[in-house]
Amino acid sequence: MEGIATVVKNAGSHYLLSELPSWELFPAVLRGKVRLERSGATNPVAVGDRVRYERDGAATEEHPAVIKEILPRENYLIRRSTNLSRQSHVIAANLDQAVIVASLLFPEIKLPFLDRILVTCEVYKVPAVIVLNKVDLYREELPEMLAAFLRIYEGAGYPVIETSAVTGEGIGALREHCRGRINLFSGESGVGKSSLVNALDPSLDAKVGKISEAHLQGKHTTSLYEMYRLGGGGFLIDTPGLRGFGLVDLEKEEISKYFPEMLRVMDHCRFVPCTHTHEPGCAVKAAVDAGQISAERYNSYLGMLEQDSKFR
């Protein structure tokens, strides 16, 4: 028999599939020909991919289904390693939204890192929502830093959900935001992503890592990309905590188009094309000077231009 299913777990050369929205998992392997055809990234098949499979009877570990074809992706997220390997890796495919978890401290937020993820979401047409975790700490101790973060990212056009996995604040709003959707949860190591997953659905019992206070960096607690069914409705793809996020297939001249706040004004630049760095009559620089575009986001953009050779 043949059918179409979604990849819900990638364990190297073996996969788990389900015909969403039903949740009946069965094992599968990838036909060698398909593996060779899709060798551009380190993983030819990603969680979220819709595939055509065939099997005889019930699929078991001894007799898994065979993936014959990967169907065209509606969207996907991809990152390039920032180490010397320079390999690209598809994080997940066919997403309704990316939920990017961030914290202001412990670990200290790196805005250029967050902006690289957001730019990649824009490039590959994945709607993004930012979840700012641990707000119970920030309101008391860092109210100005919290207000500045909201000004930067809500001003850029991104929804920000304020949450605390400890107090439960914002968990209901996040659960409702995820309902009925395929959600990728991602973020820098140590931001409390696993704690949020547990708060969203305690039955998932995600591993919770301890922050290394010596380095203020999170320890990796998730080793595999995997999709879970949320008890409140929808699906969640968990990912390992990230420490680097390199851009893929993006020319310097294109980067500004994926900053929504820059895109809104760049048609008014005097020169076309405009790099928004030194040209007279640049509408983007004028918007930065006027406070309509945050200096932090603009500096992230400049960093992507200057460090292009390092991160690509």
Q: What are the backbone angles phi and psi of residue 173, rounded to the nearest 5°?
A: -65, -40
List beta partners, residue 41. Answer: none
Q: Quick one: fold of 2-70?
A: OB fold (Dihydrolipoamide Acetyltransferase, E2P) (2.40.50)
pLDDT of amino acid 292: 95
Architecture of domain 76-238 in CATH?
3-Layer(aba) Sandwich (3.40)
Backbone angle region of 106, left / alpha / beta, with phi > 0 → left and psi within -120 to 50 → alpha: left
Write the CB contacts of 292 (distance below 8 Å, at least 6 apart in sequence): 261, 265
Question: If the chain, 312 residues long, is cut into consecutive pieces of 10 residues, what is the mean pLDDT of each piece?
Answer: 93 88 93 60 84 88 90 88 61 95 86 92 94 90 91 96 93 95 88 86 64 39 72 87 62 91 96 94 97 96 76 41
Could you report the per-residue pLDDT of 265-280, keeping only the tens digit for each? 999 999 999 999 999 9
For residue 81, the 8-state DSSP code is -
Domains in the chain: boundaries: 2-70, 76-238, 252-311
Selection from 262, 232, 239, 82 nearest residue 157 by Cα: 262
C-alpha neighbours within 13 Å on the C-beta side of residue 75:
17
pLDDT of amino acid 220: 39
pLDDT of amino acid 212: 37
pLDDT of amino acid 215: 36
pLDDT of amino acid 216: 40
Question: Could you give the CA distance from residue 173 to residue 171 in angstroms, rounded to a whole number?
Answer: 5
Tokens representing 228? 């879970």
For residue 12, the 8-state DSSP code is T
The residue behind tokens 């909201």 is: 150
Question: Could you give the CA distance from residue 130 to residue 188 in angstroms, rounded to a whole number?
Answer: 12
pLDDT of amino acid 239: 78
Architecture of domain 252-311 in CATH?
Orthogonal Bundle (1.10)
Torsion of CA 66, 2, 40, 47, to 10 degrees: -80
Q: Which amino acid is at 133?
A: N
Q: Which helix (H) or strand (E) holds 28?
A: strand 26-30
Q: Which helix (H) or strand (E) holds 284?
A: helix 283-289
Q: What is the pTM of this model?
A: 0.85
The residue behind tokens 């959900």 is: 161
Burial of 205 (0-12, 13-18, 19+ CB in 10 A): exposed
